[in-house]
Amino acid sequence: MNMWLMYLVLKLDNISGALIAFSVILGMVVIFGGLGLFALRDIHEDDEAFLKNILPKLFKIYKRVSIVTITIVCLAILVPTTKQMAAIYFVPKVINNKQVQKMPNKLVVLANSWMDEQIKSIKSK
């Protein structure tokens, strides 16, 4: 594993947080922008030049910002946390490791007995 990949895995939580913050800000811009467009349309209902020239351009900008917002929200949802990425990356490597597959039986018995004790303590609570 190279250093940059490790850095990226460790920073996934920060990247996800930044995407969420950015999507909240853009979401507010979309909501208030939409309300503003409706208000402008109602205010300038008699102004033909505004309705035919300026309002369509504003609506085009509004649509683009909406698409960017939806894209960033989807990215924020799909970016895994650091723990999830570590599981995605490391669990298959550990499972497919030949040394792990040749674990001594005593270690497996010890792990099973410890797990049984943990399950009993959880059930007793």
All structural domains of the chain with their residue ranges = 1-79, 82-125
In this prediction, residue 60 carries a pLDDT of 94
For each successive 10 residues of the chain (125 residues), what is the average pLDDT?
83 92 94 92 87 89 94 93 87 81 79 89 81
In this prediction, residue 1 carries a pLDDT of 64
CA quadruple 107, 113, 115, 118: dihedral sign: negative
What's the pTM?
A: 0.65
31-51 pLDDT, tens digit per residue, is: 999 999 989 888 888 888 888
